[in-house]
Amino acid sequence: MTIALDLARRIGALHYEGLPADALHWARVGILDYLGVTLAGSREPAARLALEALGTPAAGAAALFGMSRRVGALDAALVNGTASHALDFDDCNNTFGGHPSAPILPALFALADESGASGRDFLAAYVTGFEVETKIALAVHFHHYMKGWHPTATLGVFGATAASAKLMALDDRRTATALAIAASFASGLKSNFGTMVKPLHVGHCSRNGLYAAQLARAGFTAGPEAFEHKQGFFNVFNGEGTYDASRIIARWADPLDIVSPGIAIKQYPCCGSTHPALDAMLELARRHKLAPARIERIDAWTHARRLEHTNRPDPRSELDAKFSLQYCLARAATDRKVMLEHFEGKAHLDAGVRALMARVHVAPYTTEQFPADNHFAAEVRVRTTGGEILTAKVDQPLGRTSSNPLPLELLKEKFENCGLRVLRAEQVADLYGATQRFDELPDVRELTGIIAAPAPRARRGARLAPA
């Protein structure tokens, strides 16, 4: 049996009724977080330009987030997918090495708008796509990540494909074909981190995952050994001896990856690789009431693999700043918080923050600081002008795994802050309520109707009354 067909059979065997309560809980969490960050991201230049470049897309059934306009499902998946990652505020997953929900959910919402899918069928498709992409990640990491591929895109395309095929109720043969088609659609280079191309990766793979499923449904053909062929996905993207395909099935749904390690919800709107150090820096800044004038030097140690794309001492744009550990730490020390506004306009050129950045020094941590198998830790040391040495260590950032979750009140606050950048307060409240009863929605268009409703842009800083 080919890998694609084996995966297809497992995809077909997952159903809402058989999913554990924890999986459904985390799926609702992922949907809520996705809705918020995508609404906020819909106002970003990357999302706007992705739509403009399409010219005048044909009208269709699929909602564009934060707009009254509806387009075809493929165009909606592309634009909404780009919006979902435009702020780099969307969820992560330790197995995946990237952002698991953003590739899947734009395709599913676009497809649900066309088909009128129920909340239960949608949730089953989401959990299925999440499992497919993360278990394929087990087979290829960490060589795949270190080689320079962006897993959110190169692996996320399989999650989007599997989820779309599931919601379409494709049979095993056509689902396997869809996965094989997706193997030729996979793309995304880390060299484009810090630019608009990174969020475009997500829109592109979400659209392509949906398209692969549509092609398979129509009767398109593909090579059945697209994964294991000598010139297939594993050998071309990784290389012989750098992957273990047996890990996909050996760990399948044992446990479901959406349950453990689970969804990592971001507290800060910047690269997740900066978050452990930010947790440590903010702890020191708040506990000791640090001001930049008191700081002589900041040293930060993070994992070597994460430092490769976050050691940016001179960020040149607001997007570049999201990947600059130096900027993020200086901003955290200056403001004692890290907010969306810190990555907008010319915020990264703030003179005071720039002056402090020059005193920030970063390096990879050693096994004397953290165990070799801990890839998500950080240590920050501050030397004050008075000669004090202040140190904080974080084994993993808050919200990184389901065992260390972001409290629900903080998740809701994040969702509201994001949503209020685009929608009226009553719309945000209605949208939150719809996510809480997602399983009972007879038609997901009840939710997307709220997203698409025309509304004047809300004043930033507005807040909802307590629920």
pLDDT digits (tens, 9 = 90+) for 152-208: 999 999 999 999 999 999 999 999 999 999 999 999 999 999 999 999 999 999 999
Residues 6+ apart with CB under 8 A from 453: 68, 423, 427
CB 157 within 8 A of CB 181: no
Both tokens assigned to 234? 């594993």
Q: Taking residues 284-295, what's their average pLDDT?
A: 96
Residue 453 has a pLDDT of 60
Q: Tell me, what's the pLDDT at 398?
A: 86
The answer for residues whose C-beta is within 8 angstroms of residue 145's C-beta and 6 or more apart is 97, 151, 305
Interior angle at CA 311, CA 305 and CA 312, nearest 5:
145
Which among 151, 152, 166 has a CA at the least distance from the CA of 213? 166
**In whole angstroms, what is the distance from residue 222 CA to residue 202 CA?**
23
Structural tokens at position 16: 């809402």
CB 194 within 8 A of CB 317: yes
How many whole angstroms separate alpha carbon 2 and alpha carbon 183? 14
Gap between the Cα atoms of 160 and 37, Å rounded: 18
Tokens of 30: 């992922």
Give φ, ψ of 104 to 5 degrees: -90, -50
Domains and CATH numbers, the chain: 3-262 (1.10.4100.10), 272-394 (3.30.1330.120)
The pLDDT, as a whole number, for residue 452 is: 74
| Rounded distance between C-alpha atoms, residue 129 and residue 116, angstroms | 19
CA 214 to the chain's CA centroid? 24
- Altogether, the residues listed in the chain come to a count of 467
pLDDT reported for residue 46: 97
pTM over 0.85: yes
- The Cα–Cα gap between 140 and 234 comes to 7
Q: E-strand spans in 252-308?
A: 295-302
Q: Does the pLDDT of residue 455 top 70, yes or no?
A: no
236-272 confidence digits (pLDDT tens): 999 999 999 999 999 999 999 999 999 999 999 999 9
* pLDDT for 400: 86
Q: How many CA atoms lie within 13 A of 327 on its CB side?
A: 27
* Alpha carbon separation from 325 to 215, 238, 322, 338 (Å, rounded): 42, 28, 8, 12
Tens digits of per-residue pLDDT, 221-246? 999 999 999 999 999 999 999 999 99
Is residue 396 within 8 A of residue 404, CB to CB? The reply is yes
Decide: 425 and 460 in contact? Cβ < 8 Å.
no
**From CA 166, how far away is CA 178, in angstroms rounded?**
11
User: Cβ of 201: how many Cβ atoms within 10 Å?
Assistant: 29
pLDDT at 466 over 70: no
Of the ranges 184-188, 404-408, 461-465, the best mean pLDDT one = 184-188
Q: Distance between CA atoms of 306 and 456, rounded to whole angstroms?
A: 39
Residue 373 reports pLDDT greater than 90: no
Question: In 10 A of CB 56, how many CB atoms?
Answer: 7
pLDDT band at 375 (very low <50, low <70, confident <90, very high): confident
* Structure-token pair, residue 169: 């109720």
> Per-residue DSSP letters for 354-383?
HHHHTTEEEEE--TTTS-TT--S-EEEEEE
* Residue 245 exposed, middle or buried by CB count within 10 Å (0-12, 13-18, 19+): middle
Mean pLDDT, all residues of the chain: 94
Which among 267, 418, 408 is positioned nearest to 328, based on CA atoms? 267
Q: What are phi and psi of 60, to 5 degrees?
A: -155, -165
Structure tokens at 399: 């919200």
Instruction: Find residue 178's DSSP bridge partners.
Output: none
